[in-house]
Structure 1
Amino acid sequence: MVVTYTLRPIDITGTFIFSSCLLFFVMAWMGYTYFDAEQNTSEEILILKSKSYTQYLLSKIFMLQFFGVLLSLFSTIIGVTCGGFLYPLTIVDIVSILIIHIVFSNIGVVFGMFFQPRIISNTKTSRLLIFLLVIISIFKEQIIKEVAFLKFVIWILPPINMFTEIFLHLHHFSLIKLLMPIITMIIYTVFEATILVTIMKKRLY
C-alpha cells in the first residue's frame, strides 16, 4: 500500500481507492489464513471460555477487523504525510480516506474467511478462488461493461466497485457521496458475517 504513495504526482481519489483495494486483498488473505491458526484443543478451550461458539467466531472476526483498522490508520497517515498531491488535500479528504480504508478492510476480513479449509477443503482451489474473486470484485464494473450478463452472477461479490464508480474521476472525496456506498458496505458485511457464522456452526470440527 505504501508503494502506491511513491508515484508522483499523487491523484487523491484514484491513489487512495487503489490503496484501499490493496488493503481489501491483504485483509481477505489474512481472514483466509487466520481462522485456522489455533489448534483444535486450543480452540475448544477458547470456545468454552466464550460460552458460545457464535461469540467465539465473532470475537475472531472483530479481532482481525481491529487489526485492519490499525492498518487503515497507518496507511492513511503515511499517505497524507507523503505530499506530492495533484490538488490540495482537505480535511474531508483525510476523513474519507480513513473511512474507506476501514470499510474495505472490514469487508475483506469476512470475505476471506469464506475460503478457509473448513469451508473449502482443497487448498489450491480456495487460494485460486480468493485471488480470482478479489480481482473480480475490484474490477466488477469494468467486467460488467464488457460482458453484461455477468452482472447477474457477480453482483453477490463485495460492492467495492461503488467507490470507483463515484470517485475515480473526481479530484476530491465527498462525505455526502460516501454515505450510500458506506451504508451498502456495512449492510453487506453484516450479512456476509451472519452467513459465515451460520456455515461455521454447521461445520464445527
Structure 2
Amino acid sequence: MKNLLRYHFKVYLKSNKLLLPFLIYLIYLFTAYSIMPYAIVSSFSESAGVIFFIMTFVGFSYSELENPVTEQLVLLKVQNDNLYYLSRIIVLAIVGVIMSVIGILYPVIGNIYNHAHLFTRSLILSDIVFGFVLHCTMGLLGALTGSLFHPRIIKNRKIAILMVFFTAVLAIAKGALINEIPSMDFVTWVFPPVYDILVTLTGCEFFSLQALVMPFLWGLIYGTVLITMQLHFLKKNKF
C-alpha cells in the first residue's frame, strides 16, 4: 500500500493539477476572512461547503490522470484490484485532509493575529475539532463524488462534466429545490448529503455532537456506498 500511495502521489504532483485547487481555496480563505467579526459555526460551514466543491473537482480531474496502459501494468504487478483502487481513494482523502488542515489553521492563526477579534465569540477547542471533522467529511464526499465519474464509468466526458457539476450544485442547493418543489424530496436523497449536514448548523452559535451525529453518520454511509459503487463499476468496466 505504501508503494502504491507513493506512486499515485508522484503521478499527481507531476501533473500540477493540485496547484489550482489549493490556490482557489487560499484565495477564498483570504477573501472570506478579510471581513470580521465572523460567526464561527457559519464560517466553518461555508468553508467546508467550498471544500466540497473543490474536492469534487479534484476527484474528477484525478480520475482522468492515469494512462490506461500504465494502469493495466500497475494492476498486473499489484494483482489486487481493490487495493489499487482503494489506494487512489486514500490519496484523495489525504488531499482533502491537507486542505481541511489549511481551512482550520488559516482562521485560527488569523484569530491570533487579530488578537481574538476575528470571530464574534472566543474560539474554543471543540470548534476546532468539530470544524476539522466537518471539513474532512465534506472533502471526502466531494472527492468520492468527483471520482465516481471516472472515464471508464462515464465514457462521454462532456456529459460527465455536466453530470458532476449538476450533482455538486444539487448537493448544496437541494434544500431550496425541495422548498420550491416538495415532491422532489423523493429524488434529492440520491445526491451527496452536503445540504443535510450543513443545514443542521444553520443558526447555531456552537457545534453540537448531538445535532451532528446523525448527519455525519449519513455522510459516512453515503461515502461507503460511493466507494462500493466505484469499485464495482471499475472492476466491471474493463479497459
Q: CA deviation at 1:137?
A: 0.5
Superposition RMSD on alpha carbons, in Å? 1.4
Aligned with 1:95 (options 89, 108, 129) = 129
CA gap 1:40/1:117 in 2 versus in 1, 3 angstroms: closer
**What is the CA–CA distance in structure 1 between the aligned matches of 2:71 and 2:132, rounded to whole Å?**
33
**What is the CA–CA distance in structure 1 between the aligned matches of 2:133 and 2:150, rounded to whole Å?**
27
What 5-or-longer segments of structure 2 have no aligned partner?
1-24, 112-117
**What is the CA–CA distance in structure 2 between the aligned matches of 1:186 and 1:5, rounded to whole Å?**
29
Q: TM-score, normalised by structure 2?
A: 0.81
1:166 matched to 2:194 = no
Counterpart residue number, 1:9: 37
Counterpart residue number, 1:78: 106
1:36 matched to 2:36 = no
Q: CA deviation at 1:185?
A: 0.8
Counterpart residue number, 1:156: 190
1:104 matched to 2:146 = no
**What is the CA–CA distance in structure 2 between the aligned matches of 1:42 and 1:71, rounded to whole Å?**
28
Counterpart residue number, 1:126: 160
- Asked whether the equivalents of residues 148 and 226 of structure 2 are also in contact (C-alpha less than 8 Å), the reply is no
Q: CA deviation at 1:146?
A: 1.4
**What is the CA–CA distance in structure 1 between the aligned matches of 2:50 and 2:78, rounded to whole Å?**
33
Q: CA deviation at 1:68?
A: 0.8
Q: CA deviation at 1:124?
A: 2.1
Q: CA deviation at 1:153?
A: 1.2
Counterpart residue number, 1:180: 214
Counterpart residue number, 1:23: 51
Aligned with 1:49 (options 77, 94, 114) = 77
Q: Paired residues, what number?
A: 205
- Asked whether the equivalents of residues 137 and 157 of structure 1 are also in contact (C-alpha less than 8 Å), the reply is yes
Instruction: Output one character per residue of 1:86-131: Cα deviation in whole Å (capped at 9) or x when no partner.
Output: 1221111110000000011111111111223222222222112212
Counterpart residue number, 1:195: 229
- Asked whether the equivalents of residues 28 and 112 of structure 1 are also in contact (C-alpha less than 8 Å), the reply is yes
**What is the CA–CA distance in structure 2 between the aligned matches of 1:89 and 1:146, rounded to whole Å?**
37
What 5-or-longer segments of structure 1 have no aligned partner?
none
Counterpart residue number, 2:173: 139
**What is the CA–CA distance in structure 1 between the aligned matches of 2:180 and 2:41, rounded to whole Å?**
24
**What is the CA–CA distance in structure 1 between the aligned matches of 2:141 and 2:198, rounded to whole Å?**
16
**What is the CA–CA distance in structure 2 between the aligned matches of 1:26 and 1:200, rounded to whole Å?**
23
Q: CA deviation at 1:8?
A: 2.1
- What amino acid is the match of 2:35? L
> Higher RCO, 1 or 2 (CA under 8 Å, sep at least 6)?
1
